[in-house]
Amino acid sequence: MKSLWNDQEAAKFADDDLAMRVYTSRLLGQSEDLVLHGGGNTSVKSTQKDIFGNEVEVLYIKGSGWDLKTIEKAGFSPERQKECLQLAAMPELSDVEMVKQLRLALLDPAAPNGSIETLVHACIPFKYVDHSHADAIVVVSNSDDYRDQLEDLFPELLILPYVMPGFDLAKQFDKVVKDGLLEGKKGVILIGHGLFTFADDAKESYELHIEAVDKAEKLILEKRQEARQESSAGELNLLELAKIRKTVSDLRGSAVTIKVNQSKEAVGFSNRSDVNSIATRGTLTPDHSIRTKRTPVIIGDDSTQALESFKADHEAYFARNAGAEHTILDPAPRWGVWKGQGILSFGVNTKEAGQISDIAGHTANGIQDAEALGGWSPVSEKDLFEIEYWELEQRKLKKGGSKPMLQGQVAIVTGAAAGIGRKCAEDLMSHGALVVGIDISPSIESFTSASSLGLVCDIGKEDQLKAVVEKTVATFGGLDLIICNAGIFTAGEYVEDLDSNKWDATLRINLTANQLLVKYAAPYLKLGIEPAVLFVGSRNVGAPGPGAAAYSVSKAGLTQLARVLSLELAPNGIRVNVIHPDAVFDTDLWTPEALARSAERYGMTIEEYKTRNLLKTEIKSANIAEMCTAMVGPLFSKTTGAQVPVDGGNDRII
């Protein structure tokens, strides 16, 4: 590991303690091998004037929820150093009370809560303190052969046994300082936890950190070639993936998405003959257990049995370690080792799944490195339980809170580049769904984001529809919802004049494409979470007009298809419904000129024409989208085979 310090850049912050702290914190945050998703913390001791003009000693400590990679001044909590030291000196203090008192000690009530290790930083008698859960340090300290050699390997660092973060750790540091054990030392290695370095100079503290990690990395590199295995995965079994997602979602009580890691390193780890043993001993660092649980699920030939065993193991683990004050967490794994396929990470959204995937990847590599150093031996089960079931985390659990209506559910929306389809896709996402939008227009690719995927697709081509379904499952782990919106409109030709190619094209896009999409999606919908299919029909089904035979017939056929599908798919819990919009003018199909011509033909103003329904209200794409979301959501969970008009009331239909 190399230092990223730049004298010219650092000189800009020479006269501002907090600005310098931001600079060096970001240097640490740039390396995921040091800091991963909010891990680690940094601080600086300085002074600040209070409202009375008094100089107050302040500990600026990284605030909860901030990431060292992107932290700003506002991300540091200004704690009164005097009060922090008084708290650390108390004989007893619960973590809940500690957090409360630290909140009261803030100089700025709008600041975030300080790190749970605030009192540790306060105890260390140096201006700058850097703390990380550096992979290499944790690996070496979790290695059977090297744990007893740490004092010889790192004579400049104090080696301390693992202690629960929070007030217990603060008491350990308070005693260490008062006993003079930090004299002559430049840092501390906490067994199984991480590394602290400190100095009165920002550069010195940072580079001490880098030097210690570099030394540990060099120890590991000597063994790494034989430690890590690499291999390639076979073809991903998508139906089995969807089955795994279904079971994990049921265990968690919420739909999850899956991020699949099929890198050669991940597949190699999954193929190790000893993976059942080494992967289930514990986390790389204890704080990971809050995100990942104590162990992953190991999936072999029978995923159902593997997940049932994981559930039973978690319940037994809870029973062995819990007290009356504990409430059991859901028994769903947060990551899994799928033998021969790689590593799976489960999250209620893509952000959580991505974070867990990163942690799982580092964990798999770290486990193998420690095993090569003489044996992977993390902290005890009891220690991990205390973190996973921490008093502070249990309080969050009891507060509860509502989740988005469609959180974690996976949807496909056709015709999603613009108009009704785009509004549907956006509305689904606003309620927590992960959406694959497809359209023949290349502009659909702009729809891609962390929680969505925009795919160019000609729905008139069967192979492309099949590929969309498979891509959806491979990306998010399954499929729950489909909104069939895409269609074409052919009007102005009576049947005797209708071109046969137009007739065939209209039926292929408006009817057959939807049948094919459901055909390929059905096996996955059967493994979906509250699965539903919604077809966007038309007022023309109930009230056709002359000159639109192809469109009216295709939409009538689509409605009949929905009725048949509702009968066929109901035994699998899949709902199939239809909505019939009318006069939706805020789409690309309706230019201002076309709207004006139609209004003139009826002898109306444009406003009168747009509201020519019983309720005299304009129907917009957003109104259709809201109904689509509602009908695939829990509000209509007891409804299938229904046809719902969204037209403001049409006297011909009524």
One-character DSSP codes across 533-548: EEEE--GGGTS--TTB
The pLDDT confidence band at residue 211, using thresholds 50, 70 and 90, is very high
For residue 575, pLDDT over 70 is answered with yes
3-state secondary structure of 279: coil
Q: What is the dihedral of CA 259, 264, 265, 267, to 10 degrees?
A: 60
From 146, 317, 551, 609, active-site residue: 551
pLDDT of amino acid 51? 86
pLDDT (average), residues 178-190: 97
For residue 588, pLDDT over 80 is answered with no
CA distance 536 to 628: 8
pLDDT (average), residues 433-461: 97
Asked if 437 and 415 count as a contact pair (C-beta separation under 8 A), the reply is no
Tokens at 557, concatenated: 């056929």
Strand ranges of the sheet holding 532-536, from the earlier edge strand across to the other edge: 452-456, 434-439, 410-414, 481-484, 532-536, 575-581, 643-646
Quickly tell me which residue has 């959806």 as its tokens.
472
Q: Compute the Cα dihedral for 420, 466, 643, 526 and give only its sign.
A: negative
CA distance 560 to 552: 12
pLDDT of amino acid 223? 77
pLDDT (average), residues 60-88: 96
User: Structural domain boundaries of the chain?
Assistant: 7-227, 238-398, 410-584+619-646
Strands (E) located in 537-649: 575-581, 643-646
Q: What DSSP letter does each residue of 410-432 carry, written as one string?
A: EEEEES-SSHHHHHHHHHHHHTT
Quick one: which H or E segment has residue 479? none
pTM over 0.85: yes
What would the pLDDT profile of 80-116 be if each residue is shown by its tens digit? 999 999 999 999 999 999 999 999 999 999 999 999 9
What would the pLDDT profile of 242-292 be if each residue is shown by its tens digit? 999 999 999 999 999 999 999 999 999 999 999 999 999 999 999 999 999
CA 172 to chain centre: 35
Of 90, 144, 137, give the one whose Cα is nearest residue 372.
144
Domain 7-227 classified CATH 3.40.225.10?
yes
CATH no. of 238-398: 3.40.225.10
pLDDT of amino acid 491? 73
The pLDDT confidence band at residue 493, using thresholds 50, 70 and 90, is confident
Asked if 579 and 628 count as a contact pair (C-beta separation under 8 A), the reply is yes
425 or 287, higher pLDDT: 425
For residue 38, pLDDT over 80 is answered with no
Quickly tell me which residue has 């993936």 as its tokens.
241
Asked if 570 and 532 count as a contact pair (C-beta separation under 8 A), the reply is no
Residues in the chain: 654
CA distance 529 to 406: 10
* Phi, psi torsion values for 191, nearest 5 degrees: -50, 130
pLDDT (average), residues 568-575: 98
pLDDT of amino acid 224? 73
pLDDT of amino acid 611? 95
pLDDT of amino acid 544? 93
CA distance 551 to 561: 15
pLDDT of amino acid 356? 97
pLDDT (average), residues 64-80: 95
Per DSSP bridges, beta strands 194-199 and 128-132 are: antiparallel
Q: 162 an active-site residue?
A: no
Residues 6 or more apart in contact with residue 555 via CB below 8 angstroms: 487, 510, 537, 538, 540, 541
Of 305, 306, 307, 331, give the one whose Cα is nearest residue 318.
331
Strands (E) located in 495-599: 532-536, 575-581
Q: How many CB atoms lie within 10 A of CB 17?
A: 19
What's the distance, Cα to Cα, between the start and end of the chain in Å? 74
pLDDT (average), residues 427-433: 98
pLDDT (average), residues 11-37: 95
pLDDT of amino acid 527? 98
pLDDT of amino acid 394? 73
For residue 226, pLDDT over 70 is answered with no
pLDDT (average), residues 543-565: 95
Residues 6 or more apart in contact with residue 148 via CB below 8 angstroms: none
Strands (E) located in 107-164: 128-132, 157-160
CA distance 562 to 578: 7
Q: Which amino acid is at 73?
A: K
Reported as half-sphere exposure (CB side, CA atoms, 13 A), residue 618 has a value of 10
CA distance 616 to 354: 48
pLDDT of amino acid 399? 66
What would the pLDDT profile of 381-404 be if each residue is shown by its tens digit? 999 999 999 988 777 656 666 899
Q: Counting beta carbons within 10 angstroms of the beta carbon of residue 214, is it exposed (0 to 12), middle (13 to 18) or buried (19 or more)?
A: middle
pLDDT (average), residues 568-594: 92
- Assigned architecture for domain 410-584+619-646: 3-Layer(aba) Sandwich (3.40)
Quickly tell me which residue has 């891990």 as its tokens.
39
CA distance 426 to 415: 13
The pLDDT confidence band at residue 227, using thresholds 50, 70 and 90, is low
7-227 and 410-584+619-646 in the same fold: no
